[in-house]
Amino acid sequence: MRFFPLIWANLTRHKRRTILTTASVALALFLFASLRSVVTTLDAGARVGSESRMIVQSAKAIVFFLPMSYKERLAAVPGVAAVTWADWFGGVYQDPKNFFASFAADAESYLEMYRSDLELPADQRATFLRERTACIVGQHLLDKFGWRLGQDITLRGTIFEGDWTFTIRGVYRAVDPAFSEDALVFHYSLIYERYPQWVNPGWYVLQLRDPSHASQVAAAVDSMFKNSADPTKTGTERAFNAGFVTMWGNVSFLMNSIGMAVVFAILLVAANSMMLSARERTNEVGILKTVGFTDRLLFGLVMAEASIIALGGAVLGLGAAKALYRPSGFSAMGFLPGFDVTLGTLALGCGIAVLLALASGLVPALSAARLSAVQALRHVE
Amino acid sequence: MKIPLIYNLRSLLRRPVSSTMTAVGVALVVAVFIAMLALANGFRMALVRTGSPDNVLVLRKGADSELSSGVSRTNAAIIAALPQIATGSDGRPLASPEVFVPMSLDAASGGGDRLVVTRGVSAQAFEVRQNVRIVEGQRFAQGRDEVIIGSAIAPRLAHSAVGDTIHFAGRGWLVAGHFSSGGSAFESEIWGENEQLMPILRGEFFQVVALRLRSAALFDEVKRVLEDDRRLQVDARRESEFYSSQNGVLRLILNFLAVFITGIMAIGAVFGAVNTMYAAVASRTGEIAVLLTLGFKPRSVLASFLTEATFLALVGGFLGCLVALPINGIVTSTTNWSSFSTIAFSFLVTPRILLEGIIFSVVMGVLGGYFPARRAARMPVVQAIR
């Protein structure tokens, strides 16, 4: 520690260079944390949803409806505690760019099913259930469009033609941040009045009595409807959500390879500036050696300087990412709910910073250590 | 008077490691920049190429995608009778009432399934969609359980080789052939005969009617006639515009990513260039003083150092282009959120994108070189020469 003033003096000799190098390390790690968080957020999205709930969908494809009559038959399957269903509504609010999820649901059983995941005040819940044209929206969605409780909003139906006006009677908060707060849920009966032949369950949700019986229940349900006009495909809710995540394609590969390129590019910048510093100080190294600094000590001094730059940059970059995304509620237009920099990402970022310090400091540190005093003093700028 | 370029070149070569590192740093940024743009461009082109300006798509009023549309058999017949529609080689109007539905099919590897658009088309479809070509096997036979599979999606599906039987909708379908369509989204689809697919898929109606007009100029007239017809309740869209307007949000995200990622990387690379150039200026203080004493104008010194930085970045830019070129044509896939189905498309590196990469590198060089160059130009001669 007693050499800290010397390291500090070296760092502050070229203030501009030190600041620029630290800033580029910070930028690299900020970018790394951002890219990595896309992957972890998608993974968290794949894990949201309970193992004790199952989704029954059409075996043909998710866009097919299932008959309303399945509800009673599903409820009778051994091991099923409760049944609800919902259907994709696909409403557009003002402009198609304002994309968010909207569902028509069997409201009472739906809220009961997700009671532990959605925080909805009891009075709002009661009003919503009582009122035919009411809807509930996520807190984040409400804030995004600046809506108020009690406001009427109109969505243009893309699947169910026409304009649909709902009154916001409830605002829910998601208990798990990966559960989307960018959704709107309303009573299916509203569609039923206009298009009685069209509205049908897009998917059923089953609550299991015992999660360990999931595969038996799935087999029982699927074999029950196997030879009907609408065969089903049943899986856990978690697997259902994971399926949506894989639909994005090879996001993690893309993000990781870009992340690698970023880190490598910045490594070059950092190593370059460390080498520039070292080259300019060849004379000094000679003097220090002459006055009795050991090779090992000189090696340590250069490495310490590189580490301060790399770790300082890491703290700034990772800290900025952590401080920026979650508090600002960034969610990539609702595609990445609960976007946050995880502790794992922070740890990985710090690991990269250490590697960066080693890689950028090693060459100049070694050459400083190996240089003979005579040679160094002879060195002419 | 200008300082000769050879001076800059030799200066760069005297610091080979530092120069190389800076150039490679710029190269990486340019490579990522090009890769991101090629990804966004490939996706856009797959959608754009899908439509032809001579074609019209007729959808149910208010439907924003083929998935949510529906046109009854009666209405399809009314639409096909329009006089503005071109006639085919067999003398029948070039109208293809189509069934459109994503089916879940087994993926070729890794298990799981993929949602793939299955499109039931009429015999006229191959004259309406003129870029569709059979690349292997033959067209599906009328009245049989046969399909043809798009060349982009075929390798990603199980049982998709010509002659195999692929299972969906509770039936087996003989794969009669594979088709290409110039890199468009149709290559991610399975086509069969509409009359075969309609009853087992979504009941007695079509999703869209695709028309080929006698001339693209007739579009406005056709649109007016169709949309004013109270029986039909449809929207008419120019096919090229319809497909290129799809997936606006996803394209927005891709473009945002390209700008965000390369923007931040570029700032880092500029910092690197600034460091290198400042160090260059500092270690050449004596030289610069000599140049100024010899009578070179400060302006020339500024230009010289700026040129050096730009040249370094330009080398990086070309290197980046070379690194990024091999990704051209690599096929990747994502989901077409308008139909919830898989769309396979390839990275598309165009000369324009390469040029943008080069320009980008020059901008980085100028930004990174300006302040160090200005310092060199303003150097007080007497002090410097000591």
Distance from C-alpha of A57 to C-alpha of B119, rounded to nearest angstrom: 22
Contact A265 B25 (CB under 8 A): yes
The model's pTM is 0.79
Q: Which residues contact A59 (CB under 8 A, 6 or more apart)?
A: A222, A231, A232, A233, B104
Q: What is the pLDDT of residue B386?
A: 67
Task: Kindly provide the b/e burial profile for residues B139-153, where b requires at least 16 CB atoms within 10 angstroms of the residue's own CB.
Answer: bbeeeebbbbbbbbb
Q: What is the pLDDT of residue A1?
A: 62
Q: In terms of Cα–Cα distance, which of A105, A106, A53, A108 is closest to A81? A: A53
Nearest to B28 among A156, A265, A276 (CB): A265
Whether A239 is covered by a domain: the verdict is no
Distance from C-alpha of A141 to C-alpha of A146, rounded to nearest angstrom: 8
Kindly report, residue by residue over B51-97, the tens digit of the pLDDT: 888 889 999 887 778 887 888 888 998 998 888 898 888 888 899 99
Q: Which residue of B has its CA nearest to A155?
A: B62
Whether A182 is covered by a domain: the verdict is yes
Q: Indicate whether A195 and A341 sit together in one domain.
A: no
Contact A262 B169 (CB under 8 A): no
Q: Indicate whether A206 and A307 sit together in one domain.
A: no
Q: To the nearest whole percent, how much of chain A has pLDDT over 70? A: 97
Average pLDDT of chain A to the nearest whole number: 85
Q: Which residue of A has its CA nearest to B252?
A: A97
Q: What is the pLDDT of residue A334?
A: 63
**B193-212 residues touching A, CB cutoff 8 A:** 201-202
pLDDT averages per 10-residue partition of chain B, 386 residues: 82 83 87 88 83 87 81 89 87 90 80 82 89 91 91 89 87 92 87 84 80 89 89 88 78 80 84 82 83 87 89 93 90 76 85 93 90 86 74
By mean pLDDT, which of A217-221, A278-282, B90-94, B266-270 is the weakest?
A278-282
Q: What is the pLDDT of residue B201?
A: 61
Please report how many Cα atoms fall inside a 13 Å half-sphere around the Cα of residue A3, on the Cβ side. Answer: 13
Distance from C-alpha of B344 to C-alpha of B190, rounded to nearest angstrom: 13
Q: Which residue of B has its CA nearest to A278?
A: B279
pLDDT band, very low/low/confident/very high, at A296 (cuts 50, 70, 90)? confident
Cβ atoms within 10 Å, residue A64? 20
Nearest to B274 among A20, A333, A335 (CB): A20
Contact B275 A62 (CB under 8 A): no
The dihedral formed by the CA atoms of A146, A151, A156 and A160, expressed in degrees to the nearest 10: 130
- Residue with the bigger pLDDT between A105 and A244: it is A105
pLDDT band, very low/low/confident/very high, at A381 (cuts 50, 70, 90)? very low
Query: What is the enclosing helix (H) or strand (E) of B313?
Result: helix B298-324
Whether A168 is covered by a domain: the verdict is yes
Residues of chain B with C-beta less than 8 angstroms from the C-beta of A254:
39
Q: Indicate whether A74 and A197 sit together in one domain.
A: yes
Q: Indicate whether A103 and A173 sit together in one domain.
A: yes
Whether A197 is covered by a domain: the verdict is yes
B32 touching chain A per CB within 8 A = yes
Query: Mutual orientation of helices B5-14 and B16-48 as an angle, nearest 10°?
Result: 100
CA angle B130, B132, B134 (to 5 degrees): 135
Give the three-class secondary structure for A130: helix
Rg (CA), chain A: 30
Query: What is the enclosing helix (H) or strand (E) of B29?
Result: helix B16-48
Kindly report, residue by residue over B273-317, the tens digit of the pLDDT: 888 888 888 878 888 888 888 888 888 888 888 998 899 999 999
Q: Indicate whether A316 and A184 sit together in one domain.
A: no
Cβ atoms within 10 Å, residue B107? 16
Is the confidence at residue A138, as pLDDT, over 60? yes
How far CA B349 is from CA of A366, B34, B184, in Å, comes to 43, 7, 16
B269 touching chain A per CB within 8 A = yes
Q: Indicate whether A280 and A149 sit together in one domain.
A: no
Hunting for tokens 């259907």 — which residue is that? Answer: A87
Distance from C-alpha of A9 to C-alpha of A14, rounded to nearest angstrom: 9
Contact A60 B335 (CB under 8 A): no
Contact criterion met (CB below 8 Å) for B335 and A248: yes
Q: What is the pLDDT of residue A314?
A: 92
Nearest to B32 among A261, A276, A333 (CB): A261
Q: Indicate whether A202 and A343 sit together in one domain.
A: no
Q: In terms of Cα–Cα distance, which of A64, A160, A58, A41 is closest to A104? A: A160
Residues of chain B with C-beta less than 8 angstroms from the C-beta of A280:
279, 282-283
Q: Indicate whether A309 and A199 sit together in one domain.
A: no
Q: Indicate whether A41 and A64 sit together in one domain.
A: no
Whether A18 is covered by a domain: the verdict is yes
Q: Which residue of A has its CA nearest to B59?
A: A158
Q: Which residue of A has its CA nearest to B34?
A: A258
A275 touching chain B per CB within 8 A = yes
Q: For the residues A56-85, what does the mean pLDDT come to?
A: 87
Domain count, chain A: 2
Contact criterion met (CB below 8 Å) for B50 and B180: no
Q: Indicate whether A288 and A342 sit together in one domain.
A: yes
Kindly report, residue by residue over A160-212, the tens digit of the pLDDT: 878 899 999 999 998 877 677 888 999 998 888 888 777 788 899 999 998 88
Q: Indicate whether A167 and A213 sit together in one domain.
A: yes
Is the confidence at residue A378, as pLDDT, over 80? no
Q: What is the pLDDT of residue A319?
A: 92
Q: Indicate whether A175 and A102 sit together in one domain.
A: yes
ipTM beyond 0.90?
A: no
Q: For the residues A346-368, what does the mean pLDDT come to?
A: 88
- Across the A:B interface, residue pairs with CB atoms under 8 Å apart total 157
For residue A348, give its domain range.
Answer: 4-46+249-380
